[in-house]
Amino acid sequence: MIRFAAPEWALLALLLVVVAVAWRRLQLWLPLRATCLGLLVLALMQPEIRRLGKGLDLWTARPRRRTA
């Protein structure tokens, strides 16, 4: 399950779409620019992946020393 720590940054994506339409001269629809901006917004949203499932217990065995 993916959860975002800062979902408010998704509003930046909407703002970038408005800017791209308003100022076409910036050419934000080019593939490399759009990918970089999308990854920037995604990084700012701080995605967290929560894995649900059984936990793992780790047991270690250590030999005991005998003293004389």
Question: pLDDT tens, 23-62?
Answer: 999 898 899 999 999 999 999 999 998 777 777 777 888 7
Q: Where are the alpha helices (DSSP H) in 1-68?
A: 10-22, 31-44
Confidence of residue 68 (pLDDT cuts 50, 70, 90): low
Q: How many CB atoms lie within 10 A of CB 45?
A: 17
- What are the φ/ψ torsions at residue 48 (nearest 5 degrees)? -125, 130
pLDDT (0 to 100) of residue 56: 74
